[in-house]
Amino acid sequence: MRHRRSFGLVAALLIGLSSAVAGQVSHADATAIENYLEQVRDATGVPGITAAVGLDGAIVYAGGVGHAELDNRTPADGSTVLNVGSISKVITTVAIMQLLERGSVRLEHSIRQFVPAFPDKGVAISLRHILTHTSGIRHYRSGEFGPYGLTEMRHFDSIDEAIAIFKDDPLLFSPGAFWSYSSHAFNLLQGGVEKASGMEFEDYLTAYVWEPAGMLGTQFDVPERVVHRRGRGYVRDEAGRLVNSGYVDVSYKYASGGMLSTVSDLVRFAMAINDGTLLGPEAVARMYTVEVDPVMIFSSDGEAQLGDYRQAIGWRLDTDVQGRTYINHTGTVRGTRSVLINYPDVGLVVALQANSLPFDSRKHGQALAQMFLPPAPGGSGRER
């Protein structure tokens, strides 16, 4: 998997934001957004926060507060590049749905059809199981990357090589029986894209997802690449001081958490789904169809827990404070936290990133979304 590609308090703020129009927001509106982001930054202590808003097919705001990285105190803005963590999963999902449209894959196909190096577990694990987190394949576990996390620092040249981390472990449950979030399972989808398309994973995404959507600041997170406007993620040490997140080579998880992007590009991505650039309407409807409801979360003690959200193909569906359903995914990796929120029925997309943990990206992304949403008819309920 060596790669050739290279790249040299909220209520008060809601007043006045209803005047936002496609293509721009007023200076006062942009100031209100940034005042909110500054309040969040002060409350959380994160070095920088970036955000972008898309409305009716156009980016109406892209900016940030604080610093993208602290060594040079580079300002954070809408073009700051950070690893988006598990938002990578929904980019991978779109690639799979494109191949589904072309008849190259079916959701019922066994993952072993595409990644035969993954051992036979005695039961079929389908693409659908992986895309809905019902495969039974485990997620990360403590200590699996060895002393000092050395395995997480090495480079893997292929998906067959990378899955050695988890492939021989038993399934947690029979596929389809429960829901259990698994990045390891999602990584197998890289093999699905490569086998079905005949292309390297990043080459496919460049040609069929990133470039068509205008996501020119998006690529794989390859440590040796020079990436202009790359930010950094931070964590806190035992004394509470901000320190650089540890070195990680994410070549074992490109499909689940290894992509770099900007908030502007994430908004472009969701808008390109909404306007039909990336997928036809039937594929989009299929992708957003609820597959797991209620979500019964697997627990190793045998007591399943009921989740307060719904699982679609790749995406999570939640309910906001007005009772509206919104489509979303979050991401956490290397000291960063991100969220992508989509309200396709009203043409609103919000992306937000922060570069230290802990940070509740969904909460703050939702606050931004509410600034642009009209009251829902008969809307009520509590955000889940």
Summarize pLDDT for 230-244 with one digit per residue, the tens: 999 999 999 999 999
Residues of the chain above pLDDT 70, percent = 92
Structural domain count, the chain:
1
* Any domain includes 26: no
* Position 367 in a domain: no
The tokens for 191 are 């093999």
The rounded distance, in Å, linking the Cα atoms of 185 and 127 is 10
Judge whether 136 lies within some domain. Answer: yes
Has residue 252 been placed in a domain?
Answer: yes
pLDDT digits 0-9 by tens, 104-137? 999 999 999 999 999 999 999 999 999 999 999 9
Query: Is residue 66 domain-resident?
Result: no
Copy the structure tokens of residue 84: 């988006």
The answer for residues whose C-beta is within 8 angstroms of residue 219's C-beta and 6 or more apart is 5, 7, 202, 206, 210, 225, 227, 259, 260
What pLDDT, on the 0 to 100 scale, is given for residue 144? 84
Q: Which domain holds residue 326?
A: 80-342
Paired tokens of 32: 């209100």
Tokens of 208: 């069929």
DSSP 288: T
Residue at 68 is within a domain = no
Instruction: Say which CATH number the domain at 286 has.
Output: 3.40.710.10
Residue 39 falls inside a structural domain: no
Span 287-314, average pLDDT: 93
Residue 8 lies in a domain: no
Quote the crossing angle between the two packed helices 88-101 and 189-197, to the nearest 10°.
30
Of 25-29, 156-160, 226-230, 314-318, the range with the lowest mean pLDDT is 25-29
Name which residue leads in pLDDT, 141 or 269.
Answer: 269
Q: Has residue 254 got a pLDDT over 60?
A: yes
Chain segment 35-90, per-residue pLDDT in tens: 999 999 999 999 999 999 999 999 999 999 999 999 999 999 999 999 999 999 99
Grade residue 14 by pLDDT with cuts at 50, 70 and 90.
very low
Q: What's the distance, Cα to Cα, between the start and end of the chain in Å? A: 39
Beta carbons of 217 and 264 less than 8 angstroms apart:
yes
